[in-house]
Amino acid sequence: MKECKKCRALLVEALYGELDSKEQDFFEKHLASCPACAAESEAMTETLKIMDERVRPERDQGFWNGYWDRLSRRMKEEEAVVEEKPRSWAKILGRSWSLRPRWALQAAAALALIAAGILIGRMIFAPRQLPVEASRPAVEAPPVQPGEGDPVLRARNYVDRSKLVLLALVNYDPTSDDPYALDLPLQKQISQQLVNQAGALKSDLKDPGQRRLRELVADLETILLQIANLEAKNDFEAVDIVKQGVESRGLLLKINLSEMGGDPSAAGRGAAVEKPPAQKTKI
Amino acid sequence: MTEEKELVERLSRGDTAAFRELVEAYKKKMYYLAFDMVGNAADAEDISQEVFLKAFRGFKTFKRGAKLSSWLYRIAYNASIDHLRHKSLIPEAAEDVVLDSGRGGFSETRSTADPALTAEIRLLRARVEKALANVSSQERTVFLLRHYNDLMLDEIAETMQISIGSVKSYLFRCIQKLRKELASPGTPSPPEVPDEGM
């Protein structure tokens, strides 16, 4: 039994003739004395004989004669490809990077991070670029020249500027601690400019629908002329007279009605002392 | 062995003539080993050429004192495995290959004028291929390397990077399985035909 086990361990080598002489002697002697092992060996030998029937398609001589030529051609083709490869920029850069010291790579990475941070920061926190028209201050708008543009718009502008001058005078209190709260020279200067524009403006407001606006401009022109003719220094008595004129003409009320689209001509009738509700006035 | 040493020396110097000698000496062995592994003639030529290209370019990796044939077999075995993995190929039915033999640059190795005998041989070959297909890949590879490519057991162990005990075990189990497969009803006995060489 022990010999049978040893025999079977040698069976594969025996089938292919790979036993040394000592093993071969043992194997042959055992088979001669053991019918089971002999039958096993015989069956496996027969199996291998059947397996010998397998054939691989033989290539003809032409195939083998041309083998070297085909191989040489392929070698040349692949060598050409290998020579082409290092020319690519990616390879060249990759090779040059691989030669850099480690600290250089780290520094480059840090710089790249900083640059990316700056770029992202600018994109997120930079002020929005407004359109040119929107960013231009309203005060920079060119002043409307007499005789230019829509006369109604020019009249509205005229009324607005006049209103500011009148309010400055009406709200002025000579008994206050600050005698220089009213900048009379400036008000005189503005008033003079407005008086200068009034003539052209009135002549442009010829349309019957613009009559009330034209009358308001004329009223303002009168009072503005008084202001322009005040003394250069703070002439508080004269200021009081102008204030009374503004009130008697109901100019501020007319201005307010004009702004609301009402009839400024009705404001002077029995409403001379009415003051604009939105303004803090002192008489 | 002396001739091989001399060849190795010349190859190590990049001698192209030596390389051609190597190719001429091993081209058929590499081709058929690859064919047995992948089961396709075109792929077998491609793989065998790849073996020589790798050998030529990577000759520095050849260890002096090692067997040149073992080194080449190992390259061929690995190239075949890579090829199968890459293409996820299952070797085409070998019986088709056998039936296609004699066309397109192939020649029949064994022929006979007796049509009945030819049919019997073809049937037997189909059974052989079927039996081979029914064993594990490791068993089949060991058997193909030993039985058809004449690699010694230790060479197979070196080629496949397994122990010689494993090689013997795989081979024994493979032959036993083939025996059972071929013993099933319908398997004709090998016909007695004159051997014209394979």
Q: DSSP labels for B118-135?
A: HHHHHHHHHHHHHHHHTS
The pLDDT-based confidence of B114 (bands split at 50, 70, 90) is low
- What is the pLDDT, as a whole number, of residue A107? 87
**Distance between CA atoms of A256 and B147, rounded to whole angstroms?**
117
**Using DSSP, how many helices (H) and how many strands (E) does chain B show?**
9, 1
- What is the pLDDT, as a whole number, of residue A91? 62
| pLDDT at residue B72 tops 60 | yes
- What is the pLDDT, as a whole number, of residue A261? 67
Closest-approach residue (CA) in chain B for A17: B152
- What is the pLDDT, as a whole number, of residue B45? 94
Helix axes A35-51, A2-15, angle to 10 degrees: 20
DSSP state of B148: I
Terminal Cα-to-Cα distance of chain A (whole angstroms): 140
| Count of alpha carbons within 13 angstroms of residue B118, beta-carbon side | 10
Of A261, A263, A262, A257, the residue nearest A276 (C-alpha)? A257
Tell whether A79 lies on the interface with B, counting CB pairs under 8 A.
no
- What is the pLDDT, as a whole number, of residue A200? 87
- What is the pLDDT, as a whole number, of residue A226? 85
Residue A151 sits at the vertex; the CA angle it makes with A147 and A156, to the nearest 5 degrees, is: 125
- Tell me if A240 sits within 8 A of A230, measured CB to CB: no
In degrees and rounded to multiples of 5, residue A59 shows phi and psi of -85, 145
What's the token pair of residue B137? 């890949």
CB atoms within 10 A of CB B160: 21
Test A63 with B187 for CB contact under 8 angstroms.
no
Helix (H, G, I), strand (E, B) or coil at A153: helix
- What is the pLDDT, as a whole number, of residue A232? 60
What is the 3-state secondary structure of A161-230?
HHHHHHHHHHCCCCCCCCCCCCCHHHHHHHHHHHHHHHHHHHHHCCCHHHHHHHHHHHHHHHHHHHHHCC
**Distance between CA atoms of A66 and A167, rounded to whole angstroms?**
112
Closest-approach residue (CA) in chain A for B107: A58
- What is the pLDDT, as a whole number, of residue B192? 54
Query: What residues contact B14, with CB distance under 8 A and at least 6 apart?
Result: none
**Distance between CA atoms of A47 and B179, rounded to whole angstroms?**
5
Phi-psi region of B63 (alpha: psi -120 to 50; beta: other; left: phi over 0): beta
**Distance between CA atoms of B98 and B108, rounded to whole angstroms?**
9
Test A55 with B125 for CB contact under 8 angstroms.
yes
**Distance between CA atoms of A240 and B56, rounded to whole angstroms?**
116
Distances (CA, A) of A98 to A82, A83, A92, A95, A105: 20, 20, 10, 5, 9
What's the token pair of residue B122? 């073809």
Q: Looking only at Cα atoms, what is the longest distance across chain B?
A: 58
DSSP state of A58: E
Q: Which residue has the tokens 């003394």?
A: A231
Closest-approach residue (CA) in chain A for B16: A72
- Rounded to two decimals, the pTM is 0.52
CB atoms within 10 A of CB A121: 10
B116-169 pLDDT tens trace: 667 888 888 888 989 999 999 899 999 999 999 999 999 999 999 999 999 999
- What is the pLDDT, as a whole number, of residue A133? 45
Closest-approach residue (CA) in chain B for A65: B24
- What is the pLDDT, as a whole number, of residue A283? 40
Which H/E stretch holds residue B65? Answer: none
| pLDDT at residue B3 tops 60 | yes
Q: How far is A72 from chain B (nearest CA, A)?
A: 9
**Distance between CA atoms of A218 and A234, rounded to whole angstroms?**
26
Test A71 with B36 for CB contact under 8 angstroms.
no
Q: How far is A47 from chain B (nearest CA, A)?
A: 5
ipTM summary value = 0.76
Test B146 with A16 for CB contact under 8 angstroms.
yes
Mutate to test the interface with A, among B32, B144, B168 (most CBs of A within 10 A): B168
| pLDDT at residue B61 tops 80 | yes
- What is the pLDDT, as a whole number, of residue B109? 46
In degrees and rounded to multiples of 5, residue B109 shows phi and psi of -80, -35
CB-nearest to A47 from B32, B35, B179 is B179
Q: What is the pLDDT along chain A (283 residues), one digit of tens a residue?
A: 788 999 999 999 999 999 999 999 999 999 999 999 999 999 999 999 999 988 888 888 999 999 999 999 998 888 887 766 655 566 656 666 555 667 777 888 889 999 998 888 887 776 555 444 444 444 444 454 545 678 888 888 889 889 888 888 788 776 665 555 677 778 888 889 899 988 888 888 888 888 888 888 888 988 888 888 877 666 667 777 788 888 887 888 888 887 776 555 545 444 444 444 444 444 4
- What is the pLDDT, as a whole number, of residue B165? 93
The pLDDT-based confidence of B63 (bands split at 50, 70, 90) is confident
- Tell me if B116 sits within 8 A of A44, measured CB to CB: no
The pLDDT-based confidence of B60 (bands split at 50, 70, 90) is confident
